[in-house]
Amino acid sequence: MLVLASQSPRRSEILRQAGIPFTVRVAVVDETPLEGEKPEDYVVRLAELKALAVPAGPDETVLGADTTVVIDGEMLGKPADAAEARRMLARLSGRQHEVITGICLKRGVEVVRDCAATKVWFAPMSAREIEEYVASGEPMDKAGAYAIQGLASKFIERIDGCYCNVVGLPVALVRDRQAHLTRLRK
């Protein structure tokens, strides 16, 4: 059985849509980046902290995951308020950025870590479009202040990489690494 160490409804939905049975056990970890930490290292570290934070039986595999948006080398997490969401969206408007998700799978003493990166191109957004999108409330609990699967979809010109990664979980990578973990145990 897979244990998702996350309260993210988006990660749960991705696993459900992929037909992967799972249960949720919420992990609470400090998500403060370390000084000078690279985005890839940050999301993998948090994914591992989450995977290690929840109890699991011998027949359970725990999945931890964390996602960040990166533009100009800077990580954009979840906005603290509407003003920060507006600033993030203005920065993404008309530009390309990267969405990076770290994953960690733990079964017994075996641990597998990895990350996926997807490039995303935003269409230019007017100040009014940004204001209307922020007013919808959708940006408030999303890294980079947008949901590709929601109202922001109309602003996405193209992506290069895994769509599910941008939503919050690179499910094909998870499946591949879970199979690897199973092979390690044989």
Q: For this structure, is 30 an active site residue?
A: no
Query: How far is 21 from 107, CA to CA, in rounded Å?
Result: 16
Number of separate helices (H) and strands (E) present in the chain:
6, 7
- Which one is catalytic: 30, 66, 141, 160? 66
Amino acid occupying residue 21: P
The answer to whether residues 105 and 78 touch, using CB atoms and an 8 Å cutoff, is no
Query: How far is 126 from 130, CA to CA, in rounded Å?
Result: 6
The residues annotated with a catalytic role in the active site are: 66
